[in-house]
Amino acid sequence: MTSSLIVLFVFIGHASHVVTQSGNDAKRLHQQLFVSDTYNKRIRPIDNQSSAIDVYANLHLLSINELSETDEVLTTTAVLSMSWNDTFLKWDPNTFGGIKFYYWPQNEVWKPDIALQNSYLDYKGLGDKTLNVMNIHTGAMYWNPFQVFKSTCSLDIFYFPFDYQTCYLRFQAWSYSRRQVNMESGYHDSQGFNLKYYETNSAWDIVNTSWHVYRDKQDAAISFKMTLKRKPMYFMMSVLLPICMLSILNVCVFMIPVNSGEKASYAVTVFLSFAVFLTIVSDNFPQNSESTPLITDFLVMQTTVSALTTMLALIFSRLESFGDANVPSQLVKLMKRMSCLPCLSRARKTKDNMIEPIEDSGNASDTPKKDPSVKVDWTDAVNFLDFVCFVLFSILFILSILVCFALATSKSKVYNEEFNYESNGMYEQIDNNGRDDGASTDQSGDGDGNISNYYYW
């Protein structure tokens, strides 16, 4: 019986507490703050107008929508959570039915005019008139504008598709100086981003994040840095593999007999295929000369080689038409020196089939007479040149593949070393004339309006 009474009293007390937070209390609170106290959102909410208001900012990245290589624009969806203290919006919860916090439309209260400094589009304020600002009874204000950001991002595509890209989101008070609004970070470590609600991107992986606070004599800004790694599988299958296959086919032009009549047309077809691929790849990259992709350099080299093989195919076709005309002695000596037996097979077969003439004495020779000279025509010479070109161009192709692969993998090692170094370093960069007392970034408190205690992200 006693326990039942205790539960009943607790329930009644809780119900009475809920009832006291009525709509009338909210009306009285609004009347007190915005009418009786004549709150003015155009005045910075601090008693000493010579002091700066500390604005704490945290970035909650939700998704990476696109990273455009041609425009060098990063499109992200994120929430920039900001907090500050408003001296003019304080009240005693006991006076207003126990209301400890309330939400005001963002257009009715003062808020910092924070904007994306490196925006790709025109200047646009954060948030929307439909968003609210959370107001704690101690004066702490919390604003979480949700927005799609389009920021500029300089790309280094030399190692495409095994590249890493570093992009920034820099936020700064647009019209206030550092002596009026001072930017701070709400993070206690170097993580930089809140990725709790981040949705993975199909083309990019986030491999590193950090934050930086920049201050000079006039301005203060906070920059959120992210390093992205491209997922290369799609480009390996759709770009790299076809280019390598075309390069192999390009070398195979020297395996086609000249007298087949298909050698020149085959070489021209491969050359046009390289030209088409070069156009497709070039259209997907920034139109600048600061850095060209390694794959483009490789493709240009293979296109040049293909043009050279086409010229050689035409030259060899012309040489083969000379038929039994005399072959230069230097070329014949080179063929003999390199022991080009396949090239001379036809001439040797003719020689081996020769019949030794019978001498007048009636004694037949046991062995045929050897003719020290072997007749080499232009067909044999062209076959020899095809063999030499096939070997040389195959070696060139293998070396180019190895060099490009070594360069691409070496960049990954460099980035890994940089990440290991940065993980042990400081991420807050402060000018010598700026404040570095550490007090402004410490958000620990007793829970009565503490900034970190009321962050819901």
Give the pLDDT confidence of 47-56 residue by residue, as tens digits.
Answer: 888 888 999 9
Say which residues have a Cβ less than 8 Å from residue 389's Cβ, sequence separation at least 6.
254, 309, 312
Q: What is the mean pLDDT of residues 243-271?
A: 88
Average pLDDT in the chain? 77
Fold of 234-349+375-413: Methane Monooxygenase Hydroxylase; Chain G, domain 1 (1.20.58)
Which of 212, 231, 232 minimizes the C-alpha distance to 223? 212
Whole-number Å distance between alpha carbons of 305 and 299 = 10
Using pLDDT thresholds of 50, 70 and 90, give the confidence band for residue 333.
Answer: confident
Record the tokens describing residue 413, joined without a space. Answer: 């090692």
Query: Is there a contact between 304 and 262 (Cβ–Cβ < 8 Å)?
Result: no
Q: What is the pLDDT of residue 416?
A: 54
| DSSP secondary structure, 107-147, as one string | GGS----EEETTBSSS---SS-TT-EEEEETTSEEEE--EE
Helix/strand/coil percentages in the chain, nearest 5: 40, 20, 40
Q: What is the pLDDT of residue 189?
A: 57
Cis peptide upstream of residue 232 (ω within 30 degrees of 0): no
How distant is the alpha carbon of residue 351 from its chain centre? 67
Cβ atoms < 10 Å from Cβ of 276: 10
Which of 227, 184, 217 minimizes the C-alpha distance to 84? 184
Query: Is there a contact between 412 and 162 (Cβ–Cβ < 8 Å)?
Result: yes
Beta strand ranges found along 132-219 (DSSP E): 132-136, 140-143, 146-152, 164-173, 181-185, 193-194, 204-215
Poorest-pLDDT segment among 49-53, 174-178, 187-191, 309-313: 187-191
Q: What is the pLDDT of residue 201?
A: 92
457 compared with 427, residue with greater pLDDT: 457
Count Cβ neighbours within 10 Å for each residue of 134-173 and write b for 16 or more, e otherwise.
bbbbbbbbbbbbebebbbbbebebbbbbbbbbebbbbbbb
Give the pLDDT confidence of 57-73 residue by residue, as tens digits.
Answer: 999 999 999 999 888 99
- Top CATH class of 21-231 equals mainly beta
Using pLDDT thresholds of 50, 70 and 90, give the confidence band for residue 355.
Answer: very low
Using pLDDT thresholds of 50, 70 and 90, give the confidence band for residue 412.
Answer: low
Q: What is the pLDDT of residue 151?
A: 94
Helix (H, G, I), strand (E, B) or coil at 181: strand
Cβ atoms < 10 Å from Cβ of 301: 15
How distant is the alpha carbon of residue 200 from its chain centre? 14
Whole-number Å distance between alpha carbons of 45 and 112 = 11
Whole-number Å distance between alpha carbons of 386 and 389 = 5
Residue 232: exposure state from Cβ atoms within 10 A (0-12, 13-18, ≥19): middle
Q: What is the pLDDT of residue 174?
A: 84
Enumerate the domain spans of the chain: 21-231, 234-349+375-413
- Confirm whether pTM is higher than 0.75: no
Say which residues have a Cβ less than 8 Å from residue 237's Cβ, sequence separation at least 6.
none
Look at the block and give the residue holding tokens 């704690």. 136
Which of 98, 74, 106 minimizes the C-alpha distance to 14? 98
Say which residues have a Cβ less than 8 Å from residue 393's Cβ, sequence separation at least 6.
250, 251, 254, 305, 309
